[in-house]
Amino acid sequence: MKEKKFMSRPSRSKLTMFGTAMVMASAITLNGYSAIASDSPKEKDAEKKQNKTTEKKKEESKTNVVYIVLDDSGFSDLGSYGSEIKTPNIDWLAENGLRYNNAHVTPLCSPTRAALLTGRNTHEVGVGTVTNFELGPDFPQKRGAIKPEAGTIAEVLGENDYNTYAAGKWHLAPTEETSPAGPYDNWPIQKGFDQYYGFLEDSSDQYRPDLTIDNTQIPSPTDENYHFSEAIVENANRYITNQASVFPDKSFFLYLTFGAQHSPHQVPEEYIDQYKGVYDKGWDQIRQERFERQKELGIIPEDAVLAPRNNGVKAWDELNEQEKKNYIRLQETYAGFLTHTDEQVGKLLDNIRRTDQLDNTMIVLISDNGGSGGGQANGSVNHSINYNALGETIEEVDALHEEFGSMKAGTEFPAGWGQVSNTPFSQYKNSTFAGGMNTPLIVYNPKLISDPGSIRSQYVYVSDITPTVYDITGITLPKEIDGVKQMAISGQSFKESLTNPKAAGKKTQYFEVSGHRAIYHDGWKAMTSHKKGDSFDKDQWFLYNVKKDFTEQNNLADQYPEKLKELQKLWWKEAEKYEALPLTDTFLEGFLSVPEGSIRADKHLVYYRGMDRLTDSAVPPLVNRSYEINIPIKRADASEDGVLLAHGGLDSGYTFYIQNNKLVYEYRIGERTKASIVSNTDVPVGESIISLKYDKTGKHQAVGTLYINDTKVGETKIENTLPLKLSFEGIDVGKDTKYPVSPAYADKGEFEFKGELGKVEYILGDDAELTVPRAN
């Protein structure tokens, strides 16, 4: 990356003062500027006047840019979009800026973020799906990283003398590259940011996240008062204040990306308690009230029709009391989480205002996709089970009812509340129905907006935001960045709509996600809802006139077959143009994809004590395969106990530890699956080799056999193992940081092994059931 200039050029006024102090009639040149000294009072007065004019013009031309990205927050979640949830600070942005009601994103986080930062379509920059799934060379549009030819706004603004800061969720690097040793090519610093504080993967615990500062991973915080949303704003404010104090004339770009409202929904109890009783009336009535409020606000058309309940969502009145009790508390948690997020947005606004920069700052707030239905019918309290799409029983959820919002529960609300988030639309994220793609967009720019508080209905796609910034700031995309020729911008500026309510919107935009397809063109939308495993040729197509049918309730495919054919043909044309082909419906099973040449493709891996916690996405692919683990140790005496190896945390994982002079192996999935071996002999003093042979015996079943120095010391059956992703916490060697896998040592902190432990060796079997994505 090209090195950025730390110091801006000195202002003309400072140079003139310096030249005058020299009391000489010669020109003094400094950093390319000339200052002419003069003893004439008239000349001095004229020069002062000119300096003031120059500084005023510089201040007027200065435009800071802030992107605020919410995660999994639906169209109706904000107060200014019809919600009962308290979001006064975000609503202030809406009241003093513009709300767009026809703004769209790709209904998954990584593709949306790639389009936002590059101003281009998701597939053409290589991020057609989440970056957890690197689908190999047959799918160049789904390689998990932004192409170097698609420079980010941070790179472009950095070339134009901006300081660039990122704080929050990244999720734009192949997640196997998020290890503490990189590779770093796709981390924020390498993508144009000067400073970064946040987490690199798709989601993280809010109390003890996997943290990265710039290019360095740091231990998870242990402060009981820590919260990720608060920390990212504290760091963003520090970046801004430093710059305002030292280089006030220099512009900045801030990319602030909350982990909220993505699961796990975690927030202090006082925020949850603010909503006691609010949701007792249930999701059907709350949804109806939001719908009516949206019409009162004018955020949806008067003739809009509320979509019916999604398939699989029961009527609230059909639920039993235990279901209602849990579902109410889960939604109270979600609402408190969002109010807490809004409070942090307020802290950011206060700081920008305090440093006298608010009038020169353009702020864009958007959600990366619609509300989630991932909590399924009952909601979730176990992040690992949830991500493996296994569903949780009402009894499993109820067992942690008192822990909702805390670090002991990785909560997500049930799909019924996800549908409320997406009022008035149907479906959820990862769908090409409006519920997955039509999200809030608020633009604040006091220099340009003359009718603050207004609503705009122009069709906007997320890739249009960055070209709009370039248009407003007068920045031209460089032909090359770091010697790499740049591809054209495919997004379209909507600057005109900031001042002209009747400005034209985007005419055409294609979509593809997980095999679902859609095309918008001139007020019409054609789309499929792909059934996984079916041939794409068999997909049912829907057709909507969205100018007249805002919520996509009147399918006109049979009535206008020629219009449908026209749009289908246009979809294929756009898909080919922007490299969305070939198609695949690979999604969650993408966790099992291990491309050749990746750091996880080796079958023999060795990790040494002293390694930082290895992020879960970079660990050996152990799901659905046999393997062997060997750990050489040395104990000086029988008191040397502790954890030898831990992979995982409260939700799921496995661990080896010595306690009471016995060797213990445990495999856990919350309270659902528990398997353990306690050695039938003491662990010897001196040198020994601890080994586990994990033999797959069937679909998600195995036998674990524990050895000390090749002598069998115990065996256990392990059933109902996780099918896709083993854990959200990675590997610790010689200790168990963050959350403990086993309750047996939960009160012992990291329970670091007191003896000698040099390394851990993994030997992987050949019976893995890895995914090979299919193309059509």
Same domain, 91 and 77: yes
Give 651-688 pLDDT, tens digit per residue: 999 999 999 999 999 999 999 999 999 999 999 999 99
Give the per-residue pLDDT at 421: 98
CA 26 to chain centre: 57
User: What does the mean pLDDT of the chain come to?
Assistant: 91
Rounded CA-CA distance 621/669 in Å is 17
Same domain, 293 and 173: yes
Nearest to 610 by CA among 736, 758, 745, 763: 758
Residue where a domain terminates, one of 537, 572, 589: 589
CA 554 to chain centre: 33
Same domain, 481 and 546: no
**Which residue in this structure is represented by tokens 């400005």?**
503
**Tokens (6 digits) for 728:** 């959200």
Evaluate whether 401 touches 329 at the Cβ level (below 8 Å): yes
Q: Which residues pair with 688 in a beta bridge?
A: 633
Q: Is the confidence at residue 134, as pLDDT, over 90?
A: no
Give the per-residue pLDDT at 346: 98
**Tokens (6 digits) for 282:** 């249930």
Q: What single-letter amino acid sits at 383?
A: H
3-class secondary structure, 433: coil
Same domain, 610 and 569: no
Rounded CA-CA distance 288/305 in Å is 11
Alpha helices in 181-282 (DSSP H): 228-246, 269-273
DSSP for 747-765, written as a single string? GGTT-B--SEE-EEEEEE-
Same domain, 289 and 438: yes
Q: Is the confidence at residue 37, as pLDDT, over 70?
A: no
Of residues 85 and 43, more confidently modeled: 85
Question: What residue numbers bound the domain in which 367 lies?
Answer: 64-499
How long is the chain? Answer: 776
**Which residue in this structure is represented by tokens 């991020």?**
127
Same domain, 257 and 362: yes
DSSP for 321-384, written as a single string? HHHHHHHHHHHHHHHHHHHHHHHHHHHHHHHHHHTT-GGGEEEEEEESS----TTTTT-BS-HH
Give the per-residue pLDDT at 649: 96
Same domain, 557 and 689: no
CATH code for the domain of 562: 3.30.1120.10
Evaluate whether 393 touches 672 at the Cβ level (below 8 Å): no
Give 425-444 pLDDT, tens digit per residue: 999 999 999 999 999 999 99
Q: Torsions phi, psi of 604, nearest 5?
A: -130, 110
Q: Is the confidence at residue 52, as pLDDT, over 50?
A: no
The band of 709, judged by pLDDT with boundaries at 50, 70 and 90, is very high
- What total number of domains does the chain contain? 4
**Tokens (6 digits) for 493:** 């500026």
Same domain, 555 and 698: no
Same domain, 758 and 652: yes
**Tokens (6 digits) for 593:** 């994809």
Evaluate whether 651 touches 204 at the Cβ level (below 8 Å): no
Mean pLDDT of 242-255: 97
Same domain, 362 and 216: yes
Residue 319 lies in a domain: yes
Residue 290 lies in a domain: yes
Evaluate whether 197 touches 211 at the Cβ level (below 8 Å): yes
- Strands of 541-545's sheet in order across: 508-513, 516-521, 524-528, 541-545
Residue where a domain terminates, one of 589, 607, 634: 589
Residue 18 lies in a domain: yes
**Which residue in this structure is represented by tokens 């397809």?**
517
The band of 301, judged by pLDDT with boundaries at 50, 70 and 90, is very high
Same domain, 491 and 520: no
Residue 2 lies in a domain: no
CB-based contacts of 292, cutoff 8 Å, min separation 6: none
Classify burial at 535, counting beta carbons within 10 Å of its beta carbon; exposed 0-12, middle 13-18, buried 19 or more. Answer: exposed
CA-CA-CA-CA torsion sign (151, 153, 157, 163): negative
Q: Torsions phi, psi of 370, nearest 5?
A: -75, 180
- C-alpha count within 13 angstroms, C-beta hemisphere, residue 332: 25
How far CA 207 is from CA of 198, 402, 544, in Å, comes to 13, 17, 44
Helix axes 12-21, 41-61, angle to 10 degrees: 160
Rounded CA-CA distance 338/146 in Å is 30
Mean pLDDT of 219-248: 97
Of residues 54 and 362, more confidently modeled: 362
**Tokens (6 digits) for 215:** 């290019």
Classify burial at 88, counting beta carbons within 10 Å of its beta carbon; exposed 0-12, middle 13-18, buried 19 or more. Answer: middle
3-class secondary structure, 35: strand
Rounded CA-CA distance 235/198 in Å is 10
**pTM of the predicted protein model:** 0.91
Q: Which residues pair with 533 in a beta bridge?
A: none
Same domain, 606 and 684: yes
Give 509-519 pLDDT, tens digit per residue: 999 999 999 99
Residue 504 lies in a domain: no
Residue 630 lies in a domain: yes
